[in-house]
Structure 1
Amino acid sequence: MLNILFVTFPFFALVLAGFVAIQRGLLPRDAIGGLNGFVLYFALPCMLYRFGAGSPISQLLDPTLFLAYLLCALLMVGFSVAMSLNARIRWNDAAFGALVAAFPNTGFMGVPLLVALLGEGAAGPAIVTIVADLVITTSLCVALSRLDGADEHGAARAAKNALKAVLANPMPWAIILGVLSSAMSYELVGPLAKTVGLLADSASPVALFTIGAVLARSQQLTQESGHAPIMLRDYLPIACFKLFLHPVLVLLVLSTVIQMGFAMDRFTMVVVVLVAALPSASNVALLTERFDADTGRVARIILVTTAAAFFTFSGAVALLHA
């Protein structure tokens, strides 16, 4: 267990560093957009491309894993929405709460952390889950968030806009290019490979620092807006669903898939269960701002899952990787 903590500690320490930098005013909040832009459009696509190009094509094009993981995500969304809807939390807030319950922080945190723990073979299965969450889970939750609107076409229009946002996101394109490179056994020429490598190496530390900065900014903005106190019952159950129910559900579904005779090895199952054990994706807080949902509630869920995951994720690694 101590060896696992030695690996996970630096990742969570960088998140804390970003959080403290904003809280203490060591970094202006206006700088977060630049950090996020660098990670999203330069560093992270290079990292995903590099891991995709270096992974066997059979790992990247695994329909059994994709569908099994997607089933778990859809179940998490449905359950979380059903448990959240009430007189105070309507479709908009319930949908984004469901998204943070089902969408792990795989891109910014999960891929580099799992590779550090399990080796580069962990990148392929993790990338499959990113595609499912970016393309389908996010689009579904954005569509559900529009069900509060009077316009009966609101959900369909929201889903269409969400898909447009996916197409404008460089991460799926980086993954596609990585898949093509893997399929064709293509390697970048020396100078270009070095440039991509430098950007890829910067992705993990800058992304983790940015996660902390985004969480601190969300908390500050919530306080400055005069937001009513957020009750524990509005965010703590969702945080628990993410940290405990999601990985258990993935473990049960993937174990059943293996027992039914589908082609999936234990290593892939372990990687994907650990993906589900990650904290909530920090970029959901940015989506709530865009769609006028309760950013304070979602930011609180992300903050709780990120802080608690240092212990819960490390414990999951100890249990599964024994």
Structure 2
Amino acid sequence: MLSVFSVTFPFFALVLCGFLATRGKVLPLSAISGLNTFVLYFALPCMLYRFGANTPIRQLLDPAVAGVYLICGLILVAATIALTRRGTIGWNDAAFGALVVAFPNTGFMGVPLLVALLGEQSAGPVILTMAIDMIITTSVCLALSRLDGADAHGAATAVKNALRGMATNPMPWSIALGAVASAVGWQLPAPVDKTIVMLAEAASPVALFTIGAVLARSQMNAHEHVPMAQYVPLALAKLLVHPVLIWLACQAAIALGVSLSPFTVTVMVLLAALPSASNVALLVERFGAHGGRVARVILVSTVLAFFTFSLAVALVS
């Protein structure tokens, strides 16, 4: 267990550094958007491109991984909405509550953390599941969020807006370009490749620091009291129910003859054991859901993940 903590500790320590720097006003709130921009539009796309280009195309397009992960994600979304949509929580809040449960922090935390733990061969399933969450799971939840007093046109508009958002997100494009480079064996010119390498190496520390800063900003801006019953169960569902569901689905798929290696199952379970994606808070702000509730789910899941994720690593290893 200590060997696991020795790997995971630096990642969560960087998140804590970003949190404390923002809470202590060493990092101005106005600087966080700049950090987000650097990670989202420069460093992380370069990291994803490199992993995609260096990963065999069959791993990037594995139908078994995609099918099992997507089915589990949709089950989790449906169950979360069914259990939480009552009282003051309508479709909008329930849908984003479901998204924050089903969408792990794969980009900012999962890619560097799992590669550090399991090696670069884990990049294929990581990148594939991240693409599913960004394109399919997010679009489904955004469409469901529009059902509060809306007709089918409202849901269709939400899906259209979600797809437009995906089209302007550089991460899916970097994944696609990496996959093409992997398929055709294309190598970048040495100076360009070196530039991409330098940006990719900055992705992990800056992304983790930014997560902490975003969490601190969300906490500082969330002045409304939110009952613990509205966010702690969602955080626990993300950290405990999601990985167990993935493991059970993988075992069922293997029993039915689907080809899933033990290594791939390990990667998928650890992906699901990650805390909630911090970018869900940005979507909540855009679509007018309860930001304080989602921010607390992200914060609690990130804090608890230091222990639960490390335990998951020890169990599946």
2:242 pairs with one of 242, 246, 249:
246
The one-letter amino acid of 1:297's match is: R
1:72-151 to 2 correspondences below 5 Å: 72-151=72-151
Match in the other structure for 2:199: 199
Partner residue of 2:270?
274
What secondary structure sits across from 2:147 in the alignment? Answer: helix
How far, CA to CA, are the matches of 1:216 and 1:164 in structure 2?
A: 29
Q: What displacement does 1:52 show?
A: 0.6
Q: Distance in 1 between matches of 2:107 and 2:96?
A: 18
CA-CA distance at 1:211 after TM superposition: 0.6
Equivalent residue of 1:30, what SS? Answer: helix
The alpha-carbon deviation at position 107 of structure 1 amounts to 0.6
Q: Please show how residues 121-270 of structure 1 align to structure 2 within 5 Å.
A: 121-223=121-223, 227=224, 229-270=225-266
> Deviation per CA, 1:297-321, whole angstroms, max 9, x where unpaired?
0000000000000000000000101
| 1:174-199 Cα distance to aligned partner (Å, 9 max, x none) | 00011111111112111011000000
The Cα shift of 1:267 comes to: 0.4
SS of the aligned residue for 2:29 comes to: coil
1: CA distance between counterparts of 2:212 and 2:248? 32
Distance in 2 separating the partners of 1:152 and 1:180: 36
C-alpha distance in 2 between matches for 1:17 and 1:245: 29
Structure 2's unaligned 5+ residue stretches are none
SS at match of 2:187: coil
String of CA shifts for 1:69-97, please: whole Å, max 9, x gaps: 00000000001111111111111111111
Q: Distance in 1 between matches of 2:67 and 2:159?
A: 20
In structure 2, C-alpha distance between the alignment counterparts of 1:289 and 1:221, rounded to whole Å: 12
Q: Which amino acid aligns with 2:292?
A: G
What CA RMSD, in Å, does the superposition of the two structures yield over aligned residues?
0.8
Question: Which 4+ residue blocks in structure 1 deviate beyond 3 angstroms?
Answer: 149-152
| CA deviation after TM superposition for structure 1 residue 149, in Å | 3.4
For residues 61 and 187 of structure 1, the distance between their equivalents in structure 2, rounded to whole angstroms, comes to 20
Q: How many residues align?
A: 317
- Counterpart CA distance in 1 for 2:45 and 2:191 is 18
1:290 aligned to which of 283, 286, 293? 286
1:109-135 CA-to-partner distances (Å, cap 9, x unmatched) read 001000000000011111110011000
Larger CA deviation: 185-194 vs 146-155: 146-155
CA distance in 1 between counterparts of 2:257 and 2:150 reads 47
Question: What's the offset of the Cα at 1:152?
Answer: 4.2
Matches within 5 A, 1:282-321: 282-321=278-317
User: Percent of pairs identical after alignment?
Assistant: 62
1:217-254 Cα shifts (integer Å, max 9, x gaps): 1111112xxx2x11011011111110100000000101
TM-score of the two chains, using structure 1 as the length reference = 0.97
Give, in whole Å, the separation in 1 of the partners of 2:161 and 2:145.
12
Distance 1:124 1:149 in 2: 40
Structure 1 gaps of 5+ residues are: none
Name the amino acid aligned to 2:287.
F
CA-CA distance at 1:256 after TM superposition? 1.3
